[in-house]
Amino acid sequence: MKILLVQSNYMISRKSGAWLINPPIGLAYIAAVLEERGFKPEILDANVKNWSPQQVADYAKDYDIVGVSILTPAERWATDVARLLPEKTLKVAGGPHTTGYPEDLLKKGFDISVIGEGEYTFLEIAEGKDLSKIEGICYNDNDNIITNPLRKPIDPNELPLPSRHLLINNGVDLPYISAGTKYRPWSPIFTSRGCPFDCNYCMKKVFGYQFRPRTPENVMKEIRFLVNELKIKELAIYDDTFNFDLDRAEKILDIIIAENIKVHIRFTNGIRADKINENFLMKLKKVGCNYVAYGIESGNQEVLNKIPKCITLDQIREAVKLTKKAGIPVSGFFMFGLFGDTKETMQQTINFSKELDLDMAAWNLATPYPGTKMFEEIKKNGKFLFDLNDWHNIQHTSGRMMFTHPDVAPPKEVEDAYAKAYKEFYLRPRYIIKQIIKIRSWTQFVGTLKGVVAIMKAIFRRQPDVQRNFIDKNIESVKINESVKINESVIS
């Protein structure tokens, strides 16, 4: 049985300036489970290799099973791969986009869509189990699409460590690099799965709403391996809610401190601002934390309540204050185009980012990814400004709105706020002087220069003409007749 796991090529989305190259740890987990059962899977990182669908199909033509991990911007690339593979090859789709839109992928060349976590589902597929008996899949059966019951959430403590040896450079060094990487070798790590909060823009169907933590000792087993065997110097924790259970989070830090493990830690994916205290932050500083991000989203409390973010502006202020007091660089994630957003609320968000005096700030546009509650609401009461058969331009850092909704400011106002936010925050003389003073080395200078280029792209970014024309055309149709629906292929 020859099994190939493919990381999709997202090069098409790197025009946004925000897409870096992360190692496919999800595929490494699936590979680890397969290896435990005696299979010898391979991982092909088409993202790193920048391979075309044809190159992947040529490479994979002799494999029995090809599994492709798909984020939304690579949907077209992945379905092209499926169409080009031989009929004898079992073609399996997985990942967030697949979980959110499983049936569509079956219509475009895949045989099976994996819904939710893929480790044991893919194992049962590889073992040849009757498809009707495999939980968590959607599949074709004589041109009929069958959706089986969902699989129960996995206890992450039962999983083997991911098979990093199947990744380029063990997935801990170049060409892999993440936003804010300062020390190499580095590695991402997941210490928990699931998030109990209900933000409507977030895709929860893969890991679910149940917070499922790995025990501190289970996490430390992986950290010791990464530090002692792979010699990593920086650990990027990619959890959705690392600090949801603050006691568990502190116990992990306590062990790192007690064992004097030398590693820098950062939270690229952010942590909850309402789940911290001064003691936790001081421990983070002690273990070498060099970056903390908070998901702030909006500077207007009513908008936060509508998301619903389940957090207050005062809690955010206090979290940023305590993080600065601990001496840890702090960033904030913000979003425009949320339900309830107006020109005024978006300006309040910009003002709030400046009030907090963050070291860094990043803005995204609310984007209706399939599988989110936002997607379903827009499908019901709004208008998509793109063709649901063509996802490759859908990107939250594109600078372009992908929908209209009665409870959201017009697309042009949202797009203007996006560019204005970067200009008002980063082009303040006080901020510029502070960043120049911080430069102590050539590496920091180069990093700062790259940051300036990214900011300029955000301020002046424009979407490709074809996509822009499609959007403008559909906005005009909404203006002409608010009751008319855009082409059925757009919203069905």
Instruction: Report d(CA 206, CA 92) in Å as an integer.
Output: 16
> Is the overall model pTM greater than 0.85, yes or no?
yes
pLDDT of 392: 72
Span 70-80, average pLDDT:
93
Span 450-461, average pLDDT:
64
Decide if pLDDT at 217 tops 90.
yes
Other beta carbons within 10 Å of 327: 11
Q: Under CATH, to which class is 170-460 assigned?
A: alpha beta
Decide if pLDDT at 70 tops 90.
yes
Decide if pLDDT at 14 tops 80.
no
The tokens of 132 are what? 């009707």
pLDDT (tens digit, 9 = 90+) per residue, 415-450? Answer: 999 999 999 999 988 888 777 776 656 655 666 666
Decide if pLDDT at 366 tops 70.
yes
Span 273-280, average pLDDT:
95
Counting residues of the chain whose pLDDT is more than 70, the rounded percentage is: 87
Instruction: Report d(CA 79, CA 53) in Å as an integer.
Output: 9
327 torsion bin: left (phi>0), alpha (psi -120 to 50), beta (else): left
Is there a contact between 335 and 366 (Cβ–Cβ < 8 Å)? yes
Decide if pLDDT at 492 tops 60.
no
Provide the CATH number for the domain formed by 3-147 in this structure.
3.40.50.280
CA distances from 176 to 10, 41, 251 (A): 13, 21, 29
Burial of 471 (0-12, 13-18, 19+ CB in 10 A): buried
- DSSP-derived 3-state class of residue 432: helix
pLDDT (tens digit, 9 = 90+) per residue, 219-266? Answer: 999 999 999 999 999 999 999 999 999 999 999 999 999 999 999 999
Lowest mean pLDDT segment, chosen from 62-71, 364-373, 414-423, 455-464: 455-464
Candidates 142, 7, 20, 167; CA nearest to 81 is: 7
Is there a contact between 31 and 51 (Cβ–Cβ < 8 Å)? no
pLDDT of 469: 41
Gap between the terminal Cα atoms of the chain = 38
Confidence of residue 452 (pLDDT cuts 50, 70, 90): low
Residue intervals of the chain classified under CATH 3.40.50.280 are: 3-147
Q: Is 182 or 68 the better-scoring residue by pLDDT?
A: 68
Give the chain's mean pLDDT.
88
Decide if pLDDT at 453 tops 50.
yes
Span 313-325, average pLDDT:
97
Strand segments, DSSP code E, in 396-465 are 403-404
Radius of gyration of the chain (CA): 22
Residue 266 makes CB contacts below 8 A (sequence gap 6+) with 180, 182, 234, 235, 236, 237, 289, 290, 291, 292
115 torsion bin: left (phi>0), alpha (psi -120 to 50), beta (else): beta
DSSP-derived secondary structure letter, 293: E
pLDDT of 474: 40
Instruction: Report d(CA 253, CA 216) in Å as an integer.
Output: 9
pLDDT (tens digit, 9 = 90+) per residue, 79-104? Answer: 999 999 999 999 999 999 999 999 99
Counting residues of the chain whose pLDDT is more than 90, the rounded percentage is: 74
Residue 135 makes CB contacts below 8 A (sequence gap 6+) with 121, 148, 149, 150, 151, 152
Residue intervals of the chain classified under CATH 3.80.30.20 are: 170-460
